C-alpha cells in the first residue's frame, strides 16, 4: 500500500486498529490548553482553527448567498490524522468562523479525502431536484478494509447538498472516477465556460501527474489529457488547482494557473506548492513562458493544499483561496491542543506581468483591515526607529506591521517580532541576497521536530531601492507579503505567550528612512 508508506506520521491502517486508544489520549490532551481547564496560548486570534482535534487541507471552499463555507480534512475522534471526514465552518467575512461540526463523515471502510465543491445552480447533476441551493462535492474516497490494506484504493466520489452545504447525501452511483489505483486523489472542479462543461484536475501522486477530466453533469467523467511530470518532482504530487486569472486585473487578458502541491521537495525542504502559468483550451494545459525551474508559491514552510472558493462573485476576476498552515514534516508534532492544524489567512490571487514572464501574485484578504485596532506609526532613520520601538509599548501577540524602508547601505533590515527573553522571530529584507526573509530559528519552542527551526527566503528586487512589506503576526504564525504580492512567506511559530516585544534589526551599513505602521488585530473568536 503506497499511501501509508509515503506519509510520515500517518498510518491509516494502524490508526483504524488503535483508534480508540488514540482518541482517548486526545481527550486527555497534551497541547497548549483546553477551554475547560486552561489557556490556549497558541490559539490564533484571526486564523481559523477547529475547536478541538486534527485538521489538514481546506476542502470544497465556496461562496453562496452571502455566506462563505469552508470544509476541511478533519478527524472528529482525535488530534492526530485519522478517521478523516469533512469538517465544516461558515463565515460572513472569511475571518469570523462558526464551526458546524462534521459535514461528510467517514464510514467504516471509507475515509473522505480532499476535494472541491461547486454551486450547481442549473442542477446539471440532476441530483438536486432543481433545488436552488444545490452544491455538489467531488472528493477522494479512500477505501480500505483493515483486514486487507493491500487492496486499498482511492477513487473520485460525489456527495451533494440541496441546502447550500449544510447537510449532505452520498451519491448512490459512487465512485464516479475509478482507476483501481492506490494513489489517485484530490479532485478540483471548475466550470469551463467556452466548452460549457465541468473540468476536473486530479493528481496521480506517485507519477507526478495531473489528469484532466470533463463532464456535463458532474457524474459522468471523460478523460481529457494529462500533465507532468514537470518542475518540482522530488516529492509526490497532491491537491492540484486549475484556475483562470486576469493579468494585472485585465479580465480580457487571462491565463490559466495550474497549482500543484508536493511532499517533500519544496524549497523549504518539506511539503509546499509550485505553480505553472499557461493556457487551457478545455482539454489540455500548456505552460507558457521560460522554463525557469520550479515556481514556488509560498516560500515558507507552512502553506499547503490551497484551494479556491467556488461561486465567488468575481468583480475583477481575481480569486480568493485559503491553505492549510502546516507542513507534513512536523504537522503531527506541533505543540498545540486540544486542536491541531490551522488555516492561513485567506489570500486574493491574480497574475502580473514581470520583465520576462507572467507570475502569480498573492495578497492578504482586504477585509483584514476591519480587524485593525489603534494605529501607531514610527518613522525616521534606523536609530530613531530602533530606539522608539525599544522604549515604546510592546506590539502584542497578534498584529499587523507595514514596513517601508529605503534600503540604502544596509545588508539587512528586519522587524524583530514576538520578542521575549532569548527569543524573537525576524522578518525583513536581506539586500545582500536580494530576498525577503523570515527567520524562526529562535522563535520560541522550535525543538519539537528537527526540521522546524529555519530561515526562509523569497527573491525580491528592491524597486528604486525601496522595499515594502506587510507582516501579519498571530499567536502561532507569521505571514509576510511584499507590496506586489510576489514574495510571500508563511511560517508557524510557537513563542512564549509573554513574548510581545517588537524591535528593529539591521546589519551592514545604515539604511535610509524607515516608516512603520502598526495595528493590533482583534480576536475573531
Ligand atoms: C494532502 C493530502 C491529500 C489527501 C489528504 C488526506 O495534505 O495528503 O492528498 O487527500 O491530505 O487527508
Residues recognised as catalytic? 57
Q: Which atom of ligand 1 is nearest to the CA of 205?
A: 9
pLDDT of residue 9: 37
Go through 9-43 and write b for each residue having 16 or more CB atoms within 10 A of its CB, e for each that does not: ebbbbebbebeeebbeebeebebbbbeeeeebbbb
487/470 Cα distance (integer angstroms): 11
243-263, pLDDT tens digit by residue? 999 999 998 999 999 999 999
What mean pLDDT do residues 383-400 have? 97
Rounded CA-CA distance 157/138 in Å is 6
Least confident of 34-38, 203-207, 224-228: 34-38
Tell me the pLDDT tens digit for each residue of 360-378: 999 999 999 999 999 999 9
pLDDT digits (tens, 9 = 90+) for 104-116: 999 999 999 999 9
Residue 17 reports pLDDT greater than 80: no
pLDDT for the residue numbered 31: 53
pLDDT band at 14 (very low <50, low <70, confident <90, very high): very low
Q: What 8-state DSSP symbol labels residue 388?
A: H
Reported confidence tier of residue 12, pLDDT bands at 50, 70, 90: very low
The per-residue pLDDT for range 313-355, each reduced to its tens digit, is 877 889 999 999 999 999 999 999 999 999 999 999 999 999 8
CB atoms closer than 10 angstroms to residue 264: 18
| Overall average pLDDT of the 483-505 stretch | 98
The mean per-residue pLDDT over the stretch 73-82 comes to 97
Tell me, what's the pLDDT at 262?
Answer: 97
Does the pLDDT at position 8 exceed 90?
A: no
Q: What is the pLDDT of residue 145?
A: 81
Give the pLDDT mean for 267-278: 96
Q: What are the pLDDT digits (tens) for 398-430? A: 999 999 999 999 999 999 999 999 999 999 999
Q: Is residue 162 predicted with pLDDT exceeding 70?
A: yes
> How many angstroms separate the CA atoms of 114 and 132, rounded?
25
Nearest CA to ligand 1 atom 6: 113
Of 281, 314, 270, nearest to 453 by C-alpha is 270
Q: Which atom in ligand 1 lies closest to the alpha carbon of residue 7?
A: 8
Cross-strand bridge partners of residue 435: 430, 459
Q: How far apart are the CA of 236 and the centre of ligand 1, in A?
A: 11
Atom 9 (ligand 1): residue with closest C-alpha? 238
For ligand 1, the distance from its centroid to the CA atom of residue 318, given in whole angstroms, is 26
- pLDDT bracket for residue 32 (50, 70, 90): low
pLDDT at 476 over 80: yes
Atom of ligand 1 nearest to the CA of 238: 9
Q: Pseudo-torsion of CA 237, 151, 140, 280, nearest 10°?
A: 50
What distance in angstroms lies between residue 272's CA and the mean position of ligand 1's atoms? 13
- Name all residues whose Cβ lies below 6 A of ligand 1: 56-57, 73, 84, 113-114, 140, 185-186, 238-239, 304-305
Q: Which atom of ligand 1 is nearest to the CA of 239?
A: 9
CA of 222 to the centre of ligand 1 (A): 24
Phi (first) and psi of residue 27, to 5 degrees = -65, -40
Please give the number of the atom of ligand 1 that sits closest to the Cα of 261. 1
Q: Which of 2, 73, 340 to mutate to test the pocket of ligand 1 (most atoms within 8 A of CB)?
A: 73
| Substitution candidate for ligand 1 out of 8, 80, 305, 324 with most atoms within 8 A of CB | 305
On whether the pTM is more than 0.75, the answer is: yes
Q: How far apart are CA 107 and CA 94, in angstroms?
A: 30
Q: Which residue has the higher pLDDT, 68 or 132?
A: 68
- Tell me the average pLDDT across 9-30: 38
Helices (H) and strands (E) in the chain, counts: 3, 33
- Best of 4, 9, 11, 56 for a ligand 1 pocket test (most atoms within 8 Å of beta carbon): 56
Pick the closest to residue 317 from 367, 357, 257, 372 (CA basis): 257
Report the chain's mean pLDDT, rounded to a whole number: 92
Residue range 115-149, pLDDT digits in tens: 999 999 999 999 999 888 999 999 999 998 888 88
Q: How far is the CA of 430 from the centre of ligand 1 (A)?
A: 35
CA distances from residue 185 to 182, 212, 247, 520 in whole angstroms, order as listed: 9, 12, 30, 40
Could you tell me the distance, in angstroms and rounded to a whole number, from the CA of residue 312 to the centre of ligand 1?
24
Amino acid at each position: 500500500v503506497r499511501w501509508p508508506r509515503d506519509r510520515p506520521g500517518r498510518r491509516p491502517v494502524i490508526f483504524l486498529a488503535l483508534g480508540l486508544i488514540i482518541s482517548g489520549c486526545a481527550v486527555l490532551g497534551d497541547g497548549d490548553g483546553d477551554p475547560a481547564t486552561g489557556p490556549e496560548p497558541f490559539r490564533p486570534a484571526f486564523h481559523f482553527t477547529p475547536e478541538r482535534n486534527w485538521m489538514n487541507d481546506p476542502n470544497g471552499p465556496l461562496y453562496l448567498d452571502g455566506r462563505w463555507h469552508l470544509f476541511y480534512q478533519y478527524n472528529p475522534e482525535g488530534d492526530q490524522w485519522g478517521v478523516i471526514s469533512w469538517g465544516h465552518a461558515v463565515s460572513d467575512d472569511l475571518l469570523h468562523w462558526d464551526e458546524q461540526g462534521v459535514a461528510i463523515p467517514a464510514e467504516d471502510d471509507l475515509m473522505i479525502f480532499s476535494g472541491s465543491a461547486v454551486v450547481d445552480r442549473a442542477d446539471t447533476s440532476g441530483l438536486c431536484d432543481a433545488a436552488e441551493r444545490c452544491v455538489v462535492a467531488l472528493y477522494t474516497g479512500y477505501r480500505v478494509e483493515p483486514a486487507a490494506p493491500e487492496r486499498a484504493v482511492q477513487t473520485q466520489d460525489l456527495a451533494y447538498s440541496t441546502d447550500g452545504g449544510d447537510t449532505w447525501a452520498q451519491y448512490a452511483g459512487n465512485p464516479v472516477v475509478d482507476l483501481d489505483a492506490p494513489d489517485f486523489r484530490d479532485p478540483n472542479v471548475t466550470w469551463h465556460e467556452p466548452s460549457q462543461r465541468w473540468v476536473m484536475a486530479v493528481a496521480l501522486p506517485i507519477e507526478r501527474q495531473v489528469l484532466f477530466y470533463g463532464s456535463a453533469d458532474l457524474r459522468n467523467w471523460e478523460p481529457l489529457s494529462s500533465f507532468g511530470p514537470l518542475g518540482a518532482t522530488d516529492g509526490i504530487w497532491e491537491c492540484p488547482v486549475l484556475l483562470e486569472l486576469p493579468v494585472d486585473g485585465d479580465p480580457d487578458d487571462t491565463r490559466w494557473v495550474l497549482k500543484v502541491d508536493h511532499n517533500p521537495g519544496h524549497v523549504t525542504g518539506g511539503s509546499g506548492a509550485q505553480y505553472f502559468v499557461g493556457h487551457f483550451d478545455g482539454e489540455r494545459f500548456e505552460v507558457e513562458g521560460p522554463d525557469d525551474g520550479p515556481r514556488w508559491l509560498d516560500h515558507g514552510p507552512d502553506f499547503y493544499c490551497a484551494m479556491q472558493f467556488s461561486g465567488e462573485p468575481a468583480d475583477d476576476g481575481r480569486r480568493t483561496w485559503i491553505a492549510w498552515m502546516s507542513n507534513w514534516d512536523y504537522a503531527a508534532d506541533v505543540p498545540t491542543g486540544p486542536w491541531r492544524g490551522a488555516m492561513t489567512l485567506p489570500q486574493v490571487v491574480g497574475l502580473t506581468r514581470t520583465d520576462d514572464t507572467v507570475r502569480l501574485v498573492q495578497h492578504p484578504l482586504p477585509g483584514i483591515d476591519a480587524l485593525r485596532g489603534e494605529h501607531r506609526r514610527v518613522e525616521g532613520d534606523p536609530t530613531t526607529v530602533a530606539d522608539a520601538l525599544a522604549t515604546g509599548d510592546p506590539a502584542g501577540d497578534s498584529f499587523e506591521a507595514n514596513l517601508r524602508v529605503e534600503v540604502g547601505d544596509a545588508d539587512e533590515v528586519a522587524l524583530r517580532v514576538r520578542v521575549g527573553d532569548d527569543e524573537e522571530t525576524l522578518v525583513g529584507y536581506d539586500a545582500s541576497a536580494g530576498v525577503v526573509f523570515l527567520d524562526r530559528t529562535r522563535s520560541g519552542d522550535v525543538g519539537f521536530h528537527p526540521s522546524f527551526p529555519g530561515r526562509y527566503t523569497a527573491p525580491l528586487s528592491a524597486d528604486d531601492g525601496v522595499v515594502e512589506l506587510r507582516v501579519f503576526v498571530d499567536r502561532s504564525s507569521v505571514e509576510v507579503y511584499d507590496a506586489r504580492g510576489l514574495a510571500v512567506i508563511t511560517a508557524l511559530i510557537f513563542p512564549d505567550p509573554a513574548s510581545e516585544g517588537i524591535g528593529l534589526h539591521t546589519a551592514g551599513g545604515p539604511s535610509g528612512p524607515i516608516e512603520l505602521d502598526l495595528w493590533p488585530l482583534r480576536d475573531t473568536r
